[in-house]
Amino acid sequence: MTRRFQWVLTLVAAFCIIAAPARALAQPAIEPAEPYKVGTFAVGNEQFVGLVMRDDSTIVDLVEANKALEFMPQYTQLDMPDDMLGLIENYEYGLKYRVYEIVNWLVAEERLDTRDGPAFVHRVEDVDIRAPIQYPSKIMNAAVNFYTHACEGCTEEQLAERTRQRRENRGVPYLFLKPTRGAIIGDGQDVIMPFGRDEIEYEVEMAIVFGSSGKYISAARAYDHVFGYMVAMDISDRGGRPPGGFSSGLDWFVGKGHDTFAPHGPWIVPKEFYGDPMERLHQITVVDGVTVQEARAGDMIHNIPELIEYASSLITLFPGDVLQSGTSGGTGSGRVERATGSGYLIDGETISATIQGIGTLTHRVVRETSVPADLSGAQLPPTSSYRD
């Protein structure tokens, strides 16, 4: 190796250090005084990234809290990202320690009182809760990943036998992609039943949010790439496509791709405050007061690390990407009896999806009643026009 080449290498290394300060932040020995969640909120038309504290009752505007902290000389100046993707991308590169400092300062100075506290501290009922990530580059979904969902409507004996067979031959996961912008909605927004489509069902799922990029991530290293967890719903249109034309089985675009079919939130729990989801997961769906789904991680066919390994063998995972781990039995296709007499969702019903330790998403179901009069007929037709 020539001296000139050695000098070039040294120069490049020095430039990289100078050019990437966000990746070289100090990592002090500091722990947060209280756990927190993170989310995206708005007051009026002003959207911000916030901390969720005090049993989900208090929201802290993270950018404004950081500005207040920087008035004190003992704290260094540090730009706080004003969107969730920026927070996630930089969290494990030192940014989380600044968040810890903010939390510890707010607790020590008793500044979390929403009545007499600073203007950047809000009551949760005074903010608009939006989808936490606006918007991930992709949502990956595990299809039929719970034994009970793979045997909807089965007797206990049938479920036991089907489960035994599947455990002996699990195969690999089945993943599909879902749109992001348009499909993703936040807590409290309406789920829209598309015009003429009347076989719409619910699925509660845990959403894994990635914090760092990776390809070919082994199951053993899977959690190293996780930022945190949130509640998700995979709303589905089971009406299918009309007969004729190209056909190759299920139409996943029709079934999963409509607007509002990807509720996310209400916020994200960073992984350090949740623990191992394969030990803790407990997810529940309630439709108009009737519990229709309830499951724990032990019902999963492929566990979360296996899903991550499989997904990353197909496509590079990036910070803010989302992987949904599947749903359990009790969906509309399982015909859980409700007051409406329908297994599918009905206009005006309310769906609540809960994952213990994370939070609850609540949405009203609203039927779309019309479409533009000048459509040519090439649009997706109403279910009733070709249903048997």
Answer whether 209's CB lies under 8 Å from 312's CB: no
User: What letter does residue 150 receive in the DSSP assignment?
Assistant: G
Evaluated on CA atoms 191, 194, 199, 205, the torsion sign reads negative
Answer whether 36's CB lies under 8 Å from 62's CB: no
pLDDT in tens, the chain (388 residues): 433 333 333 333 333 333 344 444 556 789 999 999 999 999 998 999 999 999 999 999 999 999 999 999 889 899 999 999 999 999 999 999 999 999 999 999 999 987 888 999 999 999 999 999 999 999 999 998 988 877 777 777 877 877 777 778 888 999 999 999 999 999 999 999 999 999 999 999 999 999 999 999 999 999 999 999 999 999 999 999 888 888 777 899 999 999 999 999 999 999 999 999 999 999 999 999 999 999 988 888 999 999 999 999 999 999 999 999 988 878 866 555 666 667 899 999 999 999 999 999 999 999 999 999 999 999 999 987 665 4
Answer whether 322's CB lies under 8 Å from 306's CB: no
Answer whether 69's CB lies under 8 Å from 300's CB: no
In this structure, which long-range contacts are made by residues 23-27, counting pairs with CB atoms below 8 Å and at least 24 apart in sequence? 23/93, 23/94, 24/94, 25/78, 25/93, 25/94, 25/95, 25/97, 25/98, 26/94, 26/97, 27/94, 27/97
Rg of the chain over all Cα atoms, to the nearest angstrom: 23
Domains of the chain: residue spans and CATH: 26-130 (2.30.30), 139-370 (3.90.850.10)
Q: Measured between alpha carbons, how far is 205 from 312 in angstroms, rounded to an integer?
A: 19
